């Protein structure tokens, strides 16, 4: 096997293209956009994902764009009281063997795409996927403009609304999770009379939560504001949001939140969607990756990380095993982990939104006590995620 087609040039697709090209495969990527780029927003790269990026050789290029948070924190929406304050920075390196970074999605996207170009990955823009056709010894990808490409393997990295997944497993809309996310980036130079702590901070409150952290060495503050909604009607996966509506939703929150939003000039609004565990991630010469097979709610900040891990494991499986065995091995290695992290993310929604009545309050207080007096307990809960190393 030599040639591989990838549908989708997001973080997962680019990571897969780079890993596969470095392993010696001839890689062609099809991207429906007219130009390569990513919506401006931040993402968190935990040690498990950074180890892959180090192995792919892009960490040095990314380091100049990274911000290293000092702590992972969870705070009360009104009082600012800390439920959790777990050290990151040098502590993350000591415990997990890699740092914890905040990156602008566009920076990660650009560094990965540059690395793909340098190694000879062919990128086709304005290439919208229509369908695929399988034969015994090859797979063909048909584009909407009639072009047809042929390879030994097709990787569907085309997101939660994957055309590849739909053909493989049947048409099924993603499930709206009853929550929407407002996202935005604010230049620090625009902030007035407010100081944001250099942490990965989750503010927890009734039926909503707010995340803030720095990007690009501290030049920008990224925010994600999640609100429970049952009235979402838009078919768009993202749209321009109303900043005034966002400010009203968080108006009575701690000043670090409400005053931060006073400096926001724009925001995008996402519907948070999910899917049940898929029966299979591959079929003959077609395989799925990232959000196409395991979309993540953002409550563990692991969406990009899981796709990056997928990419590396898929490439290594294809190097070491015949095709059918490689795809079986990839799914066997990745599906339980991705499903577990999906569940952790979903469970955190109730915690962040102060649900569960007395039991919910007891859980938050237990986290606060453990954070103060038994931090090893908190760290041990995160170890299965952050200490995982697919490069070994």
| 225-282 pLDDT tens trace | 999 988 776 656 567 889 999 999 999 999 999 999 999 999 999 889 888 899 999 9
CA atoms of 209 and 205, how far apart (whole Å): 5
Residue 83 CA from chain centroid, whole number? 24
| 119-142 pLDDT tens trace | 999 999 999 999 999 999 999 999
Q: Minimum mean pLDDT among 63-72, 163-172, 225-234, 255-264: which range?
A: 225-234
In this prediction, residues 186-194 reach a mean pLDDT of: 91
In this prediction, residues 186-211 reach a mean pLDDT of: 94
Count other C-beta atoms under 10 Å from residue 217's C-beta: 13
**Res. 212: pLDDT tops 90:** yes
**Res. 110: pLDDT tops 90:** yes
- Give the residue among 132, 298, 294 at the shortest CA–CA distance from 200: 298
**Res. 382: pLDDT tops 90:** yes
pLDDT of 38 reads 61
pLDDT of 47 reads 98
CA atoms of 19 and 316, how far apart (whole Å): 8
In this prediction, residues 42-50 reach a mean pLDDT of: 97
**Res. 95: pLDDT tops 70:** yes
pLDDT of 74 reads 96
pLDDT of 124 reads 96
CA atoms of 78 and 204, how far apart (whole Å): 9
**Res. 207: pLDDT tops 70:** yes
CA atoms of 4 and 1, how far apart (whole Å): 9
Report which listed range, 307-316, 356-365, 376-385, is most confident.
307-316
In this prediction, residues 326-343 reach a mean pLDDT of: 97
| 26-42 pLDDT tens trace | 999 999 988 876 666 89
Active-site choice (71, 83, 96, 213): 213
pLDDT of 54 reads 98
Q: Strands 238-240, 122-124: parallel, antiparallel or unpaired by DSSP?
A: unpaired
pLDDT of 71 reads 96
Average pLDDT, the chain: 93
Question: What is the edge-to-edge ordering of all strands in the sheet holding 286-288?
Answer: 122-124, 26-30, 3-7, 153-156, 286-288, 282-283
Rounded to two decimals, what is the model's pTM? 0.95
Q: Specify which residues 5 forms β-bridges with.
A: 28, 154
pLDDT of 355 reads 87
Could you list the beta-strand ranges (E) of 192-292: 200-205, 208-215, 220-228, 238-240, 268-274, 282-283, 286-288
- The rounded percent of the chain whose pLDDT value lies above 70 is 97
Instruction: Give the Å distances, CA to CA, from 44 to 199, 206, 281.
Output: 11, 24, 25
Contact 144, 130 (CB under 8 A): yes
- Give the residue among 312, 320, 316, 310 at the shortest CA–CA distance from 288: 310
pLDDT of 291 reads 96
Which residue segments constitute the domains of the chain, with CATH numbers given? Answer: 3-173+275-386 (3.50.50.60)
**Res. 295: pLDDT tops 90:** yes
pLDDT of 333 reads 98
Q: Active-site residue 213, yes or no?
A: yes
CA atoms of 33 and 244, how far apart (whole Å): 30
Instruction: Give the Å distances, CA to CA, from 23 to 51, 117, 137, 318.
Output: 17, 15, 21, 9
In this prediction, residues 352-365 reach a mean pLDDT of: 83
Instruction: Give the Å distances, CA to CA, from 389 to 18, 53, 305, 338.
Output: 18, 11, 11, 14
Tell me which of 361 and 50 has the higher pLDDT: 50
């Amino acid at each position: 096997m030599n040639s591989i087609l990838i549908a989708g040039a997001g973080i997962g697709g680019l990571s897969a293209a780079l890993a596969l090209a470095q392993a010696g495969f001839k890689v062609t990527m099809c991207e429906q956009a007219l130009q390569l780029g990513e919506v401006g927003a931040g993402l968190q790269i935990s040690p498990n994902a950074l180890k892959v990026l180090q192995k792919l050789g892009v960490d040095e290029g990314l380091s100049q764009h990274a911000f290293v948070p000092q702590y992972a924190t969870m705070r009360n929406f009104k009082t600012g009281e800390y439920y959790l304050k777990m050290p990151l920075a040098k502590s993350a390196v000591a415990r997990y063997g890699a740092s914890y970074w905040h990156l602008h999605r566009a920076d990660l996207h650009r560094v990965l795409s540059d690395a793909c170009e340098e190694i000879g990955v062919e990128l086709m823009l304005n290439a919208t996927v229509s369908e695929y056709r399988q034969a015994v010894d090859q797979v063909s990808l048909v584009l909407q403009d009639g072009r047809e490409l042929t390879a030994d393997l097709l990787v569907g990295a085309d997101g939660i609304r994957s055309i590849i997944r739909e053909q493989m497993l049947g048409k099924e809309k993603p499930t709206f999770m009853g929550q929407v996310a407002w996202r935005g980036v604010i230049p620090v130079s625009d902030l007035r009379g407010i100081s944001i702590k250099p942490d990965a901070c989750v503010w927890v409150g009734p039926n909503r939560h707010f995340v803030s952290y720095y990007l690009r060495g501290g030049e920008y503050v990224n925010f994600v504001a999640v609100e429970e909604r049952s009235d979402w009607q838009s078919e768009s996966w993202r749209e321009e949001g109303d900043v005034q509506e966002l400010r009203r939703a968080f108006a009575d929150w701690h000043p670090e939140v409400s005053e931060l939003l006073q400096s926001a000039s724009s925001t995008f609004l996402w519907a948070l969607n999910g899917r049940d565990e898929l029966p299979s991630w591959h079929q003959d010469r077609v395989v799925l990756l990232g959000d196409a097979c395991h979309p993540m709610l953002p409550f563990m900040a692991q969406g990009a990380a899981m796709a990056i891990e997928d990419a590396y494991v898929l490439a290594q499986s294809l190097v070491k095993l015949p095709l059918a065995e490689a795809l079986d091995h990839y799914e066997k290695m990745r599906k339980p982990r991705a499903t577990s992290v999906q569940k952790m993310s979903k469970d955190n929604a109730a915690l962040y939104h102060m649900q569960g009545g007395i039991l919910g309050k007891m859980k938050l207080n237990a986290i606060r006590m453990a954070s103060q007096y038994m931090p090893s307990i908190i760290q041990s809960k995160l170890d299965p995620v952050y200490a995982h190393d697919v490069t070994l």
